[in-house]
Amino acid sequence: MRNSRIFKARDYIGAIFMIAAMVLLVPLTVLQAWGLREPWLTVLAVLGLVPAIDAAVALVNRSVTRGLAATIIPGLALREGIPSDLRTMVVVPSLLTSPASVQEQIERLEIHYLASPDVELHFALLTDWTDAPTEHTDGDAALLDVAIEGIARLNRLHGPAPAGERFILLSPPTGLQQRPKHWMGWERSAASCTS
């Protein structure tokens, strides 16, 4: 399967470069026939390379999307809002890397809420730790405290939902990855063990 992905990527990139070459070659050939000399042709080829690649990417993308049949994804028309039996949680995955990045993720979670303030929507920040040689590092507790305080602030600011807290922090434990030996987020370590 991996080889087929590489092959498809080569086909895609190859098509882009082939079309870009044709887009460049046609005007350069015409200019050469009109008597333009090689140094100027080289300059024009270099200047035209980026627009030619841009046009080629657009053409290849358009042909690929036309070649693949688009399917309509079924949706729900909830004009009266989300009923309690269809209560939904929007989960945003995030790596805990720095206090600033955690604050940014908390702000994004709030933006998701402000964009869809339905009473039956809950919002969760699913955190994960960066890979480390030990299960816990010195800054882990401080980063988790920033996330906990940010979620608590959102709950104080926007109030609870009918089913409980509107904003939730999910922070699973780390798992030991055997090869190479390091600690990583539990889901990622479980996924890498099964693949």
Check whether 195 has a pLDDT greater than 60: no
Q: Residue 146 is which amino acid?
A: V
Residue 31, number of CB atoms within 10 A of its CB: 15
Please count the structural domains in the chain: 2
pLDDT for 166: 92
Residue 27, domain extent: 7-67
Looking at the structure, do residues 141 and 185 belong to the same domain, yes or no? yes
pLDDT per residue as tens digits for the range 49-108: 899 999 999 998 888 787 776 677 777 777 888 888 888 888 988 888 889 999 999 999
Asked if residue 1 belongs to a domain, the reply is no
Q: How far apart are CA 58 and CA 148, in angstroms?
A: 45
Q: Apex CA 59: angle with CA 55 and CA 60, to 5°?
A: 120
Check whether 4 has a pLDDT greater than 70: no
**In terms of DSSP H, where are the helices of 68-185?**
99-115, 140-158
pTM greater than 0.85? no
Looking at the structure, do residues 39 and 93 belong to the same domain, yes or no? no
Looking at the structure, do residues 116 and 183 belong to the same domain, yes or no? yes
The winner for highest mean pLDDT among 4-8, 22-26, 114-118 is 22-26
3-state helix, strand, coil in the chain (%, to 5): 55, 15, 25
pLDDT for 168: 92
Instruction: Provide the pairing of β-strand 167-170 with 121-129.
Output: parallel
Looking at the structure, do residues 92 and 178 belong to the same domain, yes or no? yes
Check whether 176 has a pLDDT greater than 50: no
Looking at the structure, do residues 146 and 187 belong to the same domain, yes or no? yes
Q: How far apart are CA 120 and CA 83, in angstroms?
A: 7
pLDDT per residue as tens digits for the range 116-174: 888 888 999 988 776 666 666 677 788 889 999 999 999 999 988 888 899 999 886 65
Asked if residue 77 belongs to a domain, the reply is no
Residue 93, number of CB atoms within 10 A of its CB: 13
pLDDT for 136: 63
Q: How far apart are CA 170 and CA 124, in angstroms?
A: 7
